[in-house]
Amino acid sequence: MRQLNWSPIQISSLVLVAIILVLTGCSTVPPRSDNEIPAKLTLEQLAPSDTKHQIDAYDPWEGFNRRVYKFNAKFDQYVFLPIVNGYTFITPAFVRTGVSNFYDNLEEIKNFVNSLLQLKGKKAAVTVGRFAVNSTFGVLGFIEAADSLGLKRQDEDFGQTLGHYGVGPGRYLVLPIFGPSTARDASGLVVDAVVYNLWISALVDEMNMDSSDEDRFKLVLAILDAIDERYKAAFRYYGTGSPFEYELVRMLYLDARRFKVNN
């Protein structure tokens, strides 16, 4: 699962949204009526009490998380997807692919730093190789040239680095706009964002723009990045139609992260 990259200002505004959502949140379970009749089929009838259920997760913030999940769905519906649809409408496919490649290339910094932090020399070397090939032969990263040379993308982030050194995922957390995460992965996101922004600043410095142009350039870069990330993700909220989508997404996210940490 890929993540967006945000500046500290954007992150703090998201935290604010999150706090507002927490404060407006009230009890999750509505009052029960007196005339309830117990269900005909219960778990006790179907499975021994010590059964491990794959769907279980450490999710003490579930009430909050479910509210954010819904918020994200609405945000997607009214803001994100209309923008992405507009983007898809006005750009030809090869441009969109080029944009995706361009950001993938910029984000190699994340893969590189985290491979190093995990002392994975080969992954770090492959990442440097990819960056070199894609930035030159790939025309500033717009063309994915390294794949065909056998240099496959090494997806590493700070959440995985923490996991590599034994930090567990902690609580499941649905972040506004970003979506599924955990206490660990959300902290990782902040660290990766800081590194990424330092890197972008260093690159932009090279371009010798005046400071207002520089800020505007970075803003455009960040906005297009967000659009590109949403464009790439096929996921649609409530697209499975399953009443258990929240649970299923949670399970898949946690599993996917577990696999990523282990390799």
For other proteins, give the closer residue by CB, 6 or 138. 138
The pairs formed by 10-14 with CB atoms below 8 angstroms and a separation of 24 or more are 10/222, 11/190, 11/193, 14/175, 14/176, 14/177, 14/178
Q: Residue from 9, 23, 37, 90 that binds other proteins (CB under 8 A)?
A: 37
Residue among 147, 157, 85 at smallest CA distance from 118: 157
Burial class (CB in 10 A: 0-12, 13-18, 19+), 206: exposed
CA-nearest of 163, 182, 164 to 173 is: 182
Least Å distance, CB 224 to other proteins, is: 21
Q: Of the candidates 19, 56, 79, 215, which one interacts with other proteins according to CB under 8 A?
A: 56
The structure tokens listed for 40 are: 């005909």
Q: Which residues contact 108 (CB under 8 A, 6 or more apart)?
A: 127, 130, 131, 134
Tell me if 20 contacts other proteins by CB under 8 A: no
CA atoms within 13 A on the CB side of 56: 4
Q: Per-residue x/- marks for other proteins, 59-88, CB under 8 A?
A: ---xx--xx--x--x---------------
Nearest distance from C-beta of residue 148 to other proteins, angstroms: 11
Shortest Cβ distance from residue 173 to other proteins (Å)?
15
The only residue of 23, 24, 36, 166 in contact with other proteins, by rule CB under 8 A: 36
CA pair distance 143, 100, nearest whole angstrom? 9
Q: Quick one: 51 or 208, whose CB is closer to other proteins?
A: 51
Q: Is 47 in the site for other proteins (CB under 8 A)?
A: yes
From 128, 158, 159, select the one nearest 146 (Cα to Cα).
128
Helix (H, G, I), strand (E, B), or coil: what is residue 182? strand
Does residue 234 bind other proteins (CB under 8 A)?
Answer: yes
Q: Kindly indicate which of the ranges 117-125, 156-164, 219-227, 238-246 contains the residues binding other proteins, using the contact rule CB under 8 A.
A: 238-246
29 binding other proteins? (CB under 8 A): yes
Measured from the CB atom, the residue of 45 and 211 that comes closer to other proteins is 45
Pick the binder of other proteins from 147, 167, 171, 214 (CB under 8 A): 147
**DSSP bridge pairs for 179:** 175
Is 46 a binder of other proteins (CB under 8 A)? yes
Residue numbers at the binding site for other proteins (CB under 8 A): 25, 28-30, 32-33, 35-43, 46-48, 51-57, 62-63, 66-67, 70, 73, 147, 152-153, 234, 237-238, 241-244, 246-247, 255-256, 259, 263
